Chain A
Amino acid sequence: DAGITQSPRHKVTETGTPVTLRCHQTENHRYMYWYRQDPGHGLRLIHYSYGVKDTDKGEVSDGYSVSRSKTEDFLLTLESATSSQTSVYFCAISWTSEGEQYFGPGTRLTVT
């Protein structure tokens, strides 16, 4: 496996609280992605980054923000968590935008 870790691996939080998920890579890949996976929807792209401080929105970005201050770290923040954001969140990395993507182990987030 590519060196990708996600933290925390599990989190339960209350509606309205801010939450930050962290993705850390040791592979020096340029591109990093945040996805969410929900039954019946497949994986959906939230945000991605194509370099330090360079980020862009995916298809389901409302309610989420990201930051990338270092090559190895990509943070996903839920400013005010809602129950609809209960999901499994995956981070992925790739060398190029068309290259093979490698995934982290996921974070299971429950918003009560």
Chain B
Amino acid sequence: KQEVTQIPAALSVPEGENLVLNCSFTDSAIYNLQWFRQDPGKGLTSLLLIQSSQREQTSGRLNASLDKSSGRSTLYIAASQPGDSATYLCAVRVNAGNNRKLIWGLGTSLAVNP
């Protein structure tokens, strides 16, 4: 059974730091992996989607890597800003009958302090 773990559960850093959020999964048979951010009381915003054949994806100050063989993905945030404060969720997409479903981690709550 696929399980997704995100460590740490919470992280507090000063503004300007480069930081890495971790996501691990137990079964390497994934279709792709998606990173989201969630602001308090709001919906989820898709940040990056990495296909299983890819090693990394970049969007602005965000870079996500994927190592399927070791069951790990990292989200790198460069030059963090207070506006980056949110919960970051990763989800792996696996085959499920005639659908492909997302298996979710519980998220890392990030606070970037001015």
Chain A interfacial positions (CB closer than 8 Å to B): 1, 40-45, 48, 50, 56, 58, 90, 92, 97-106
CA distance A105 to B39 in the complex (A): 10
Chain B interfacial positions (CB closer than 8 Å to A): 4, 31-32, 34, 36, 41-46, 49, 89, 91, 93, 97-102, 104-107
The CB with the most chain B CB atoms within 10 A, among A42, A45, A58, A104, is that of A42
In the bound complex, residues from chain B placing their C-beta under 8 Å from that of A41 are 106
How many inter-chain contacts with C-beta < 8 Å in the A-B complex? 51
In the bound complex, residues from chain B placing their C-beta under 8 Å from that of A105 are 42-43
CA distance A40 to B9 in the complex (A): 11
A98-B42 contact in complex given A40-B106, A42-B105, C-beta closer than 8 Å: no
CA distance A92 to B38 in the complex (A): 14
CA distance A103 to B46 in the complex (A): 8
- Contact assessment for B46 and A100 in the assembled complex, using a CB-CB cutoff below 8 Å: yes
CA distance A41 to B107 in the complex (A): 10
- Contact assessment for B100 and A97 in the assembled complex, using a CB-CB cutoff below 8 Å: yes
A101-B34 contact in complex given A42-B106, A45-B102, C-beta closer than 8 Å: yes
In the bound complex, residues from chain B placing their C-beta under 8 Å from that of A99 are 49
CA distance A98 to B44 in the complex (A): 17
CA distance A41 to B103 in the complex (A): 11
- A98's partner among B36, B89, B100, B106 (CB-CB below 8 A) is B100
